[in-house]
Amino acid sequence: MAEYQGLLTARPGQRWAVVVSRFNRRVTDRLLAGALDTLSRHGVRPEAVDVVWVPGSFEIPAAVRRLTERSYAAIITLGAIIRGETPHFDFIAGATTAALAELNRTAPMPVIFGILTTNTVEEAENRADGKMGNKGAEAAAAALEMADLLASLAGA
């Protein structure tokens, strides 16, 4: 029986993309810091990372689609969609999630979902270096593991 599992390591020559929303930047800046720190701690040099800023989470899939035309080990998406008083949250969260799921299914590299969908700003802050850890760091760890796994499977 063959068994495969990705490691939290970057391979030489790999490039990484992080697409991050400017909306709710108080939260997304912390998600980005966590992601970049995790990549760095696992051997990714800063010059191997492209950070792409978009206006909001809804715009993330368009940037990701374009980035899939380049050669990245993985694309990490970071955003914060926070519920408000209108149904806007449901439309943005649902459409963004569906678009990124499709891109992850069809892209030649992993597309990692690091977008918070929370009821309150406090919940978002707790997931961006608060009580619940840093989901940006977790997204970067998932990117490292999936990139390594997919590279291993390609050679299997």
Tens-digit pLDDT profile for residues 38-84: 999 999 999 999 999 999 999 999 999 999 999 999 999 999 999 98
Answer whether 22's CB lies under 8 Å from 56's CB: yes
Q: Is 115 annotated as a binding residue?
A: no
Residue 2 lies in a domain: no
Rounded Cα–Cα distance for residues 45 and 154 (Å): 24
Q: Give the number of domains in the chain.
A: 1
Q: What angle do CA 104, 73, 46 make, to 5 degrees?
A: 125
| Token representation of residue 83 | 């519920």
| Token representation of residue 42 | 């696992």
Residue 6 lies in a domain: no
Q: Is 91 annotated as a binding residue?
A: no
Query: 108-137 in b/e burial notation, b at 16+ Cβ within 10 A?
Result: ebbbbbbbbbbeeeebbbbbbbeeeebbbb
- pTM of this prediction? 0.96
Residue 104 lies in a domain: yes
42 is an active site residue:
no
Question: What is the reported pLDDT for 86?
Answer: 86
Catalytic residue among 88, 98, 106, 120: 88
Of the pLDDT bands very low, low, confident and very high (cuts 50, 70, 90), residue 123 is: very high
Domain harbouring 148, CATH code: 3.40.50.960
Of the pLDDT bands very low, low, confident and very high (cuts 50, 70, 90), residue 11 is: very high
Q: Give the domain range for residue 108.
A: 25-154
Block residue for tokens 């492209």: 50
Residue 1 lies in a domain: no
Q: Is 59 annotated as a binding residue?
A: yes
Residue 17 lies in a domain: no
Residue 4 lies in a domain: no
Residue 3 lies in a domain: no
Residue 156 pLDDT greater than 70, yes or no: no
Residue 20 lies in a domain: no
